[in-house]
Amino acid sequence: MPQPCSVLFLMEDLCFGGTQRQTLELARRLDRDRFAPSMLVLTGPTDLDAVAAGADIPVSYLGTGRAVPRLFFATLGPVLRRHAPDILVPCTALPNIWGRIWGRLLGVPAIVGTCRGGGALSRQHEWLLWRLADHHVCNSEALAEGLRRLGVPSRRIGYIPNGVDTERFQPAEVPPSGREPLILCVARLAQDKGHLTLLRAFAIVARHVPGARLRIVGDGPQEAQLRMLTATFGLEDRVEFVPGDPDVREHYAAARVFALASVREGQPNVILEAMSCGLPVCATAVGGIPNLVENGVSGLLSPAGYAEVLADSLLRLLADPAMGDAFGRAGRARVERDFSFPAMVGAHEELFARLHARRRGQREGVSA
């Protein structure tokens, strides 16, 4: 029986985040008779390492703390040489840059670049580095089209939507209309996620809905700035900051509306999770979000950076609980139909198997 194809996911970190969680789910669900997944992380242990251990995914580290070591690019090559994967899958910007460079220098048989965030094309210098990947996986059609505009051949681009565990993320017994007017945002506290716009929008909502509250779940570099703005608005008693957690289902079950004010996005896992839990969504129409949230059917979309428009959407849903319930049901149905984990994993398995067979055939001097 042939050895399973070794797939090494090169990660910047395993902090709480959509890319990290999605990659862990993919690695956990790969067919172990055909694939042997492992992870190499630029930092030391962080938030989700216990999840990897529980899923029997071997993890190696270049660092010891939460920060990426300054000279990681120098030590990455020898470590990659020792791993000698059949397929290298770099995730997020630094891994996509240095993983591809070292992967090509070391002769890694197949490199699968990933484009997941709204700013991925520029951050990863795709205009220069796309040729170093055998294939590119995008989680939104907008990112795939961006690669085509850079000259990447369509045959080397794949659109694989994120998946969500619809059994794990289910609607709560009490529908959104029966809950307190709690607005929920689950996202890393970083500039791309537009929390400043969300806070400004909530300041407007708070003036019109005395009982409304905002809960922001996540960690990140903007936390101090966001807390300062909350204090400036005098909303300390109505805005709650909650650290990131591997299990956020209790937050979805408590909220009436899910909000995301991102400036750039790929295909946010948290929106899929919120829809799977039957929540109506207020979000910005950026990246792949319009392909998830149908405006006026499963949520309300607004342009990025416009707090007043986002506030109007939130106020509409808070004022019309029945509409929120209807949006939630439509979102749940859409996720069940189009965004299952089996479909996401199956598409990756097909791609990995095809690349592995082609490289093996080239080594053996036959076409595959």
Nearest to 118 by CA among 12, 192, 219, 19: 192
The residue with greater pLDDT, 365 or 233, is 233
Domain with CATH 3.40.50.2000 in the chain: 5-163+340-364, 176-338
Q: In which band, very low, low, confident or very high, does the pLDDT at 368 lie, cut at 50, 70 and 90?
A: very low
Helix (H) or strand (E) holding 61: strand 59-61
Q: What percent of the chain has pLDDT over 90?
A: 89
Tell me, what amino acid is at 182? L
Please give the torsion angle defined by the CA atoms of residues 21, 26, 28 and 33, in that order, rounded to the nearest 10 degrees.
-170
Return the pLDDT at 363.
59
Mean residue pLDDT of the chain comes to: 94
Q: Residues 214-234: what's their mean pLDDT?
A: 96
Asked whether residue 354 carries a pLDDT value surpassing 70, the answer given is yes
Classify residue 88 by burial, with Cβ atoms within 10 Å: 0-12, 13-18, 19+: buried
Asked whether residue 367 carries a pLDDT value surpassing 50, the answer given is no
What are the pLDDT digits (tens) for 151-165?
A: 999 999 999 999 999
What are the pLDDT digits (tens) for 290-346?
A: 999 999 999 999 999 999 999 999 999 999 999 999 999 999 999 999 998 988 999
Q: In which band, very low, low, confident or very high, does the pLDDT at 366 lie, cut at 50, 70 and 90?
A: very low
Q: Residues 258-280: what's their mean pLDDT?
A: 95
Q: Residues 94-119: what's their mean pLDDT?
A: 95
Distant-in-sequence, close-in-space partners of 66: CB < 8 Å, separation ≥ 6: 13, 15, 43, 44, 46
Structure-token pair, residue 136: 């590119």
> Are 200 and 305 a contacting pair, CB within 8 Å?
no
Q: In which band, very low, low, confident or very high, does the pLDDT at 1 lie, cut at 50, 70 and 90?
A: low
Q: How far apart, in whole angstroms, are the C-alpha atoms of residue 128 and residue 22?
A: 26
Q: Residues 204-217: what's their mean pLDDT?
A: 97
- Identify the residue whose tokens are 């990995």: 352
Q: What CATH class does 176-338 carry? A: alpha beta
Asked whether residue 77 carries a pLDDT value surpassing 90, the answer given is yes
What are the pLDDT digits (tens) for 182-197?
A: 999 999 999 999 999 9
Asked whether residue 359 carries a pLDDT value surpassing 70, the answer given is yes
Q: Which CATH architecture has domain 5-163+340-364?
A: 3-Layer(aba) Sandwich (3.40)
Angle in degrees, CA 75, 191, 204, rounded to 5: 160
What are the pLDDT digits (tens) for 227-268?
A: 999 999 999 999 999 999 889 999 999 999 999 999 998 889
